[in-house]
Structure 1
Amino acid sequence: MPIERVFIVSDFAELNGGQAKVAIDSARLLADAGIAVTFFAVSGPPDEALEHPKIDVTCLNQPDILSDTNRLRAMGRGIWNREAAHRLRQEIGGFDPKTTVLHAHGYAKALSPSVGPILTDGPLPSIYTMHEYFLACPNGGFYDYQKNEICTRKALGIDCLTTNCDVRKPAHKAWRVARQVATWGPGRIPRGLKDVIYISETQRRAMTPYMSPNTRMHYLPNPIEQTDAPKVDFKNNNVFLFIGRLNPEKGGLMFAKAAKKAGVKAVFVGDGAEADQIRAANPDAILTGWQTPAQVQEWIGKSKALVFPSLWYETFGLVAFEALARGVPVICGEWNAASEGVEHGVNGLLYKEPTIEALALSLSKADELKELESQPLLETMTPRVHLEKLLRIYHEISQP
């Protein structure tokens, strides 16, 4: 039987990051295809993109963990949000499992592991999209924020439990561990999940040791927005562009220092904790703060290359693929997921080590890149193809 309704479950109904964007974009794609969607989220307000005759929105209007001023309440809800689980069970009750599916996009910032049993043992066929690594890693990134390096410790192993890898302080790591215990224990995830979507091979490799051999894994990269903006004549540009949060794991500070060393023009579109350090390290760099989508496209149009210096694995690297779609080369490290879209010396440059020197050398070689040819990988990431693959996955998981 065809799928008639999809419950999309998300921490956020507002557009505040890549995870929410994919959830909201999926809702729109499904609704435009004539499929009824119920968008269930904890934190709002709902984005205007969810205003559609085929989309119903249920938003609990609770603050997410970080923005809740009542810290004790935030800690409790972060480990087990009883109201979110109760309301979700009410929402999905009575719908036909032959024509309805439940699709979750994360839980760690507001929903909590309490929704896990609904995914693993609820009345509807369900699937979970991994946008990060919270199903395994307490801090969600397989990244040691104290040492600024990828973490290869076994999640919740002795080394993990005795190491403060948190971006904040040891007490916060302890809380994250408690949440992870709840995730693996009463939350029943990831081991109890029947179907999981992964968005890159990098992510799949990192997560495989923590998944049940009985879980069906489905590859579905994020959709890349199609823009009417023209292809970029990057060879006549001089801007090396960074787009994203200016946080330590994103590598912005390393890029600032490498750009200064290489003598190239660095532009940072975004904001975050390292903004002042970036200004100090490279006074000639331009920091624009957060920009509208149209303004971001303008900066891409002025770029010689999109620099994606992220120091952790990442899970996809959406901005890198968006730049490639405009004909702008990408410079990134071999270890992060964005590298999967880069053919060294063809549509970008890859460097092997997360060092200022290695990145600076790549920046200095950007003039050697030639005009980008057609890129078959991007053709598999269009919204149309994404929807087709998503519907096939829904059909597969709804079969008895």
Structure 2
Amino acid sequence: MRLLVINDVSVVLGGATKVAMQCIDAATAAGMDCTVLVGDDGEEVRRNFPQAKVEALCERPLRDGVQAGDVVERNYNRRAYAALDNLLAASDEETVVHVHGWSQILSPSIFHALSRHGARVIVTAHDFFLTCPNGGYLNFRSGEVCGHRPMSLGCLTSNCDKRNYLHKLWRVGRMLTQQSAGDEFWSRVEVILAHENMEPYLSGGALRHFLTLRSPCKPLTRGPAKAWRNDRMLFLGRMTWEKGVRTLAEALNKTGRPATLIGRGPLLKEMQSALPHCHVPGWLDDSEVDRLASESRFFVMPSRMPEPYGLVAAEAVMSGIPVIVSSNALIAEEVARNDAGLVFESGNADSLAEKIALMDNDDLVRHLSEGAYEYGKRIAPSNDEWRQRILDIYRGHTGASLH
């Protein structure tokens, strides 16, 4: 058996690429014949996994700036199609293909290449691009979770895009390209969900086979944090509107509480300007994140979109750091049920400010910290458990039928 891992980029800046690299690590450690197709230069894969074969397109992701040719290439990347078609031509019947990210560089052309071959295809749903044109089931104009059926008339006429309606139409065109790989192809694709609550967003169309495998994660800190002894809030993630950083900034200015916001993104400078009483350093290395996390009183995940999982929230919980999460987060209900944190109304700065103020209570923070640490033991599989599970999936031994 040969494993072919596909992802837009090789540099870990988000959860999808992090999991893709963990898949490569598990496969190569198990002695599998592993090939990786990436849209960027692939240097991070070559450096970290010298035993893996790498096919790299050396192209730029859309988030680094849109170029004129991207209108066509990011809808149907012919170089990506040709590269994948060639990789599959040798031994497609013995190949398992695991797709992670494709919306930034590789485009839906990869699914057309896959549809021509008999390789087994697995896609991990790190977001909702399998069904939703903008990938988030979020109306970026209203801030509300979208209730339209993807690609319905209501969806097509909704100006929900973060840029403009013309860009929404481009996304619709890309979705049509994706769907045109054919129902016969999509009905055989196996979808790994990062969280079980993602399934209602992805089912109902051509996709038929789902299983849940929560992504592995490790605590943000080396040991359980004494959160009730600390005084600073922590945010860790991309500085974008959909991640809720503007809501967070408004709530922090209402309360005047100190906070540390770590991350990169288009709103970084805006956050630095809007929060002069907070520490907003940009991106930091792991050791510095560890130090700042150990000094944190609680963690906030203010996402406006239906956050599929929220790895960093799970990492905080595993560290005994209570979390305040948006009601749109798919883990919100379990956070509240397990006394691991609080839930605020998505996009409502007053609601978030209220929850932040509650965290001044040392007894409450200690109760939630202890609840978080206990729940953290169950929130995700251990690294060893996850590695064994992903290898079993590759080998066709799922332990339970796809549903």
Which region of structure 1 is more displaced relative to structure 2, 359-368 or 323-332?
A: 359-368
Q: Distance in 1 between matches of 2:2 and 2:259?
A: 46
Check if 1:84 corresponds to 2:77.
no
Q: Distance in 1 between matches of 2:175 and 2:120?
A: 24
In the TM superposition, 1:254-269 aligns within 5 A as 254-269=247-262
**SS in structure 1 opposite 2:34?**
strand
CA shift for structure 1 position 226: 5.8
Which region of structure 1 is more displaced relative to structure 2, 323-332 or 39-48?
A: 39-48
User: Would the alpha carbon gap of residues 168 and 235 (structure 1) be closer, same or farther in structure 2, given more than 3 Å must change?
Assistant: same
8 A Cα contact 1:79 1:179, kept in partner: yes
CA shift for structure 1 position 117: 3.1
Aligned-partner residue type, residue 98 of structure 2: H
Q: Distance in 2 between matches of 1:280 and 1:51?
A: 37
8 A Cα contact 2:235 2:260, kept in partner: yes
User: Would the alpha carbon gap of residues 325 and 190 (structure 1) be closer, same or farther in structure 2, given more than 3 Å must change?
Assistant: farther
2:153 maps to: 158
Q: Distance in 2 between matches of 1:216 and 1:307?
A: 33
User: Would the alpha carbon gap of residues 84 and 359 (structure 1) be closer, same or farther in structure 2, given more than 3 Å must change?
Assistant: same
User: Would the alpha carbon gap of residues 390 and 157 (structure 1) be closer, same or farther in structure 2, given more than 3 Å must change?
Assistant: same
1:382 maps to: 382
Aligned-partner residue type, residue 332 of structure 1: V
1:58 maps to: 55
8 A Cα contact 1:78 1:108, kept in partner: yes
Cα shift readout 1:26-70 (whole Å, capped 9, x = no counterpart): 101221222231111111342157533431211111223344664
Aligned-partner residue type, residue 185 of structure 1: S
Q: Distance in 2 between matches of 1:121 and 1:397?
A: 25
Which region of structure 1 is more displaced relative to structure 2, 371-380 or 322-331?
A: 371-380
Check if 1:75 corresponds to 2:68.
no
In the TM superposition, 1:35-184 aligns within 5 A as 35-47=32-44, 50-67=47-64, 70-71=67-68, 73-95=69-91, 97-98=93-94, 100-184=95-179
CA shift for structure 1 position 280: 5.0
**SS in structure 1 opposite 2:173?**
helix
CA shift for structure 1 position 120: 4.2
**SS in structure 1 opposite 2:298?**
strand
8 A Cα contact 2:268 2:282, kept in partner: no
Q: Distance in 1 between matches of 2:174 and 2:285?
A: 35
8 A Cα contact 1:305 1:330, kept in partner: yes
Cα shift readout 1:263-320 (whole Å, capped 9, x = no counterpart): 4212211133334543454431221111112222222111111100111101110110
User: Would the alpha carbon gap of residues 217 and 242 (structure 1) be closer, same or farther in structure 2, given more than 3 Å must change?
Assistant: same
Aligned-partner residue type, residue 145 of structure 1: F
* Paired residues, number: 392
**Structure-2-length-normalised TM-score:** 0.89
**SS in structure 1 opposite 2:43?**
coil
2:352 maps to: 359
Check if 1:224 corresponds to 2:217.
yes
**Structure-1-length-normalised TM-score:** 0.90
Which region of structure 1 is more displaced relative to structure 2, 110-119 or 241-250?
A: 110-119
Aligned-partner residue type, residue 197 of structure 1: I
CA shift for structure 1 position 331: 0.8
Q: Distance in 2 between matches of 1:45 and 1:316?
A: 26
1:290 maps to: 283
8 A Cα contact 2:46 2:54, kept in partner: no
Q: Distance in 1 between matches of 2:256 and 2:153?
A: 45
8 A Cα contact 1:330 1:349, kept in partner: yes
CA shift for structure 1 position 86: 1.4
Q: Distance in 2 between matches of 1:313 and 1:322?
A: 19
Runs of at least 5 residues in structure 2 that lack an aligned partner in the other structure: none
CA shift for structure 1 position 189: 8.8
RMSD: 2.5
**SS in structure 2 opposite 1:127?**
strand
Cα shift readout 1:151-205 (whole Å, capped 9, x = no counterpart): 1122222222222211112221121111111111246598434311111123222
Percent identity of equivalent pairs = 26
CA shift for structure 1 position 240: 0.8
User: Would the alpha carbon gap of residues 21 and 307 (structure 1) be closer, same or farther in structure 2, given more than 3 Å must change?
Assistant: same
Check if 1:309 corresponds to 2:305.
no
User: Would the alpha carbon gap of residues 48 and 120 (structure 1) be closer, same or farther in structure 2, given more than 3 Å must change?
Assistant: closer
Match of 2:10 among 1, 9, 13: 13
8 A Cα contact 1:64 1:74, kept in partner: no
**SS in structure 1 opposite 2:381?**
coil
CA shift for structure 1 position 217: 0.4
8 A Cα contact 2:316 2:322, kept in partner: yes
Q: Distance in 2 between matches of 1:153 and 1:325?
A: 35
Q: Distance in 1 between matches of 2:31 and 2:240?
A: 40
Aligned-partner residue type, residue 76 of structure 1: V
In the TM superposition, 1:240-251 aligns within 5 A as 240-251=233-244
Check if 1:185 corresponds to 2:155.
no
Q: Distance in 2 between matches of 1:240 and 1:219?
A: 31
